[in-house]
Amino acid sequence: MTHAKIRHVLILTGDCAEALEVMYPLQRLKEAGFAPEIATPNGKVVRSVVHDFEPEFETYTEKPGYRIAADLSFGMVKADRYEALVIPGGRAPEYIRNEPHALEIVEHFMKNKKPVAAICHAALLLVAGGLCKGRKMTCYPALKPDVERAGGIFSDAETVVDGNLVTARAWPDHPSFMREFMKKLI
């Protein structure tokens, strides 16, 4: 009797992550038979938020989202164990980019050309890690100046694939974003 190899995918996030940008990849990966694990700065429950796009607002609005259990802390992550990385957006990337372990994790995946899915504000981790130079990518459009100043090539498209990096603007782009990311895993 042969046993199928467990294929681990890391989701790197924290409080105020966009709920849909954590839950949709988490469930899609499970559905496809992967073993996703959520890492947060301290390995505690994530208090996610819901960002919505309302016509009378100049930017997105924010409401409380789901509580999502974490599996481990950033310090516990052994990056070699995982074959891919998902970085959800929301406000979490804004502060987790200041965590040295987070930057080391992202750098491991990018330098080893493992699949990386980064959506919305996840670009802030790529910028902070100096990992945008020469890379074509998309993100939440308000981050275009950050990406370009970091040497990235911004494209206002629902999903952009550049080698191992798959990026999207925000949760409305999930269908194309996850379709392209899943191609990297199969």
pLDDT at 30 over 80: yes
Mean predicted confidence (pLDDT) in 101-124: 98
Among the listed residues 89, 97, 108, the one whose alpha carbon sits nearest the alpha carbon of residue 167: 89
Residue burial 55-94, b: 16+ Cβ < 10 Å; e: rest: eeeeebeeeebbebebeeebeebebeebbbbbbbbbbbbe
pLDDT at residue 86, rounded to an integer: 98
Mean pLDDT of the region 133-156: 98
φ/ψ (deg, to 5) at 172: -60, -20
Give the pLDDT mean for 131-140: 98
From the CA atom positions of the chain, what is the Rg in Å?
15
**pLDDT, position 132:** 98
> What mean pLDDT is predicted for residues 126-131?
98
Tell me which of 36-40, 53-57, 130-134, 158-162 is least confident: 53-57
Total-model pTM: 0.96
Question: Contact 26/38 with Cβ under 8 angstroms?
Answer: yes
Average pLDDT score over residue span 121-133: 98
The residue count for the chain: 186
Whole-angstrom Cα distance, residue 52 to residue 158? 17
Active site residue ranges: 121
Over residues 21-41, mean pLDDT: 98
pLDDT of residue 2: 59
pLDDT (average), residues 76-103: 97
What is the pLDDT, as a whole number, of residue 1?
Answer: 54
Q: Tens of pLDDT along 39-56?
A: 999 999 999 999 998 899
Tell me which H or E stretch contains 17. Answer: none
pLDDT at 14 over 90: yes
**pLDDT at position 10 over 60:** yes
Q: What percent of the chain has pLDDT over 70?
A: 98
The model's pLDDT over 55-79, given as tens digits with 9 standing for 90+, comes to 999 888 899 999 999 999 999 999 9
